[in-house]
Amino acid sequence: MKKLLTLATTLGLLFSASATVQASPQQDLKEFRSYFAKRFPDVPFQEFANGVYAIDQASRSQWEAIEEFPPYELSIDKGKKLFETPFKNGKTYASCFRNGGIGIKQDYPYFDTATGKIVTLEGAINACRVKNGEKPLGWKKGKIADIAAYMAYTSRGNKINVKIPADPAAMAAYERGKQHFYAKRGQLNMSCADCHQWNAGNRIRADLLSPALGHVTHFPVYRSKWGALGTLHRRYGGCNKQVRFKPFKAQSDEYKALEYFHTYMSNGLKLNGPGARK
Amino acid sequence: MRKFPSILKTASSALAIAGSLALFPVTGTAAEAQAASVTEQGKALAFDRKKGNCLACHQIEGGKLAGNIGPPLLAMKARFPDKAKLRAQIWDATKANPNTIMPPFGRHKILSESEIDKIVEFIYTL
């Protein structure tokens, strides 16, 4: 055990080391943040919300120009309209959320101790529809992304505040997400951390790898590659495919757990979604 | 007139040498051509995004838009006097470093054995 630990630490693998001793989420969060603070000493904490543009001056001005006429603006308008349009039973989405659904994204995802499940924002949107006799929407793009974009927009500036309750099932979900993040997978044998932690700021071919800290602040995101908005789980699928791993389904327990861990790691960062990316 | 015979002499001795080595130069040229085409094939495989895609992480002379995750691949003969070690690194980089991001090209059958051989030949010329 001791030998394993020293081996892992000499290799700079802070996290597998902490995994062997079952660190608490709070401990993980502290180490995660200080890793990125050391790796990018010139980037102030809140700047990480800007993703790759926090560490790449060259592409930043281009991005700032895009954000002046945001390609997601129309989606926010569409989302607002959908959000405010009553269901057939006369109720609206507002009836399903705290504060009428305005400015609440920072609380998602959360662990529902009653059901033993993680609740994501998209999950709550579709649960609201089903509860009111409507069909659920597709998970990755389209209307659900528009509604989530509007809800994200009303939450801009609020700090991510994901909680891990003292509940064994919540801890298990958190650990599952952490495991997904650090485990090597796919034919190419790479973990999320390989690209977005240990090599954040390096180039893979011509692409600069963004730090995982701040990954989730601006979702759903408009990607030029997609020519539309997409949800976080759509992105997960894309990054899984890159390493030739068959992606999980959007809103599967696996991706919900990943989102839980991944978002918890960005606690304290201000939301700035929806965002625009390459 | 004095020069002529000597020229003839050297010319004929050169011919004689060429003649005596006749068997070797012929196969030598073919082998060289074949070797060149093996390294050419290796280069194409190393650069192909769907094959080695080594440029994703390594700078390699002649390759464009290389990443910088791994060390530039140069002076390979000096760094790997034993060619088998170079092949082993490409076949399964996790042997030397379990945490490496470099894909295990042989172990995970990303490349075939003969594709790896060709890439090794190419990388060894760097």
Q: Considering only the beta carbons, identify the residue of A187, A194, A203 that sits closest to B101.
A: A194
Is A189 in Cβ contact with B108 (below 8 Å)? Answer: yes
- Backbone phi, psi, residue A7, to 5°: -60, -50
> Per residue in A132-143, pLDDT tens?
999 999 999 999
pLDDT of residue A218: 97
Q: Which of A8-22, A211-225, B67-81, B103-117 has the lowest mean pLDDT?
A: A8-22
pLDDT > 70 fraction of chain B, expressed in percent and rounded: 77
Q: Which residue of B has its CA nearest to A197?
A: B101
Q: Considering only the beta carbons, identify the residue of B65, B69, B104 that sits closest to A202.
A: B69
Beta carbon pairs, A and B, within 8 Å = 44
Q: Which of A16-30, A206-220, B95-109, B111-125 has the lowest mean pLDDT?
A: A16-30
Query: What residues in A contact B101, CB-CB < 8 Å?
Result: 190, 194-195, 198-199
Of B13, B96, B93, B97, nearest to B52 by C-alpha is B93
Mean pLDDT of A166-180: 97
Burial class, A71, CB count within 10 angstroms (exposed 0-12 / middle 13-18 / buried 19+)? middle
> Per residue in A183-204, pLDDT tens?
999 999 999 999 999 999 999 9
Residue A20 has pLDDT above 70, yes or no: no
The residues of A annotated with a catalytic role in the active site are 239
Of A195, A231, A216, nearest to A72 by C-alpha is A231
Tell me the DSSP string of A129-163: HHHTT-PPPPSSSTHHHHHHHHHHHTTTTPBP---
- Mutation target to probe the B interface, by most B beta carbons within 10 A, among A188, A192, A198, A202 is A188
> Per residue in B8-63, pLDDT tens?
344 334 433 333 343 444 455 777 777 779 999 999 999 999 999 999 999 999 99
Is A194 in Cβ contact with B110 (below 8 Å)? Answer: no
pLDDT of residue A23: 78
pLDDT of residue B32: 73
User: B103 CB near a chain A CB, below 8 Å?
Assistant: yes
Q: Which residue of B has its CA nearest to A15?
A: B99
Contact (Cβ atoms closer than 8 angstroms) between residue A191 and residue A182 = yes
User: A195 CB near a chain B CB, below 8 Å?
Assistant: yes
Amino acid occupying residue A250 = A
Q: Which residue of A has its CA nearest to B108?
A: A187
pLDDT of residue B15: 37
Mean pLDDT of B67-76: 96
User: B69 CB near a chain A CB, below 8 Å?
Assistant: yes
Using the structure block, give the residue that is written with the tokens 């389904």: A249
Q: Considering only the beta carbons, identify the residue of B67, B99, B101 that sits closest to A13.
A: B99
pLDDT of residue A22: 63
Q: Which of A146-160, A257-271, B34-48, B108-122 has the lowest mean pLDDT?
A: B34-48
3-state helix/strand/coil string of A191-256: CHHHHHCCCCCCEECCEECCCCCCCCCCCCEEECCCCEEECHHHHHHHHHHHCCCCCCCCCCHHHH
Mean pLDDT of A107-127: 98
Mean pLDDT of A86-106: 98
pLDDT of residue B34: 76
Q: Predicted confidence band at A21 (pLDDT cuts at 50, 70, 90)?
A: low
CA distance A261 to A243: 21
pLDDT of residue A5: 40
Query: What residues in B contact A189, CB-CB < 8 Å?
Result: 94, 103-104, 108
Residue B5 has pLDDT above 50, yes or no: no
pLDDT of residue B28: 58
Residue A74 has pLDDT above 90, yes or no: yes
Query: What residues in B contact A188, CB-CB < 8 Å?
Result: 103, 108, 110
User: A204 CB near a chain B CB, below 8 Å?
Assistant: yes
CA distance A216 to A267: 10
Is A205 in Cβ contact with B67 (below 8 Å)? Answer: yes
Query: What does pTM read for this prediction?
Result: 0.88
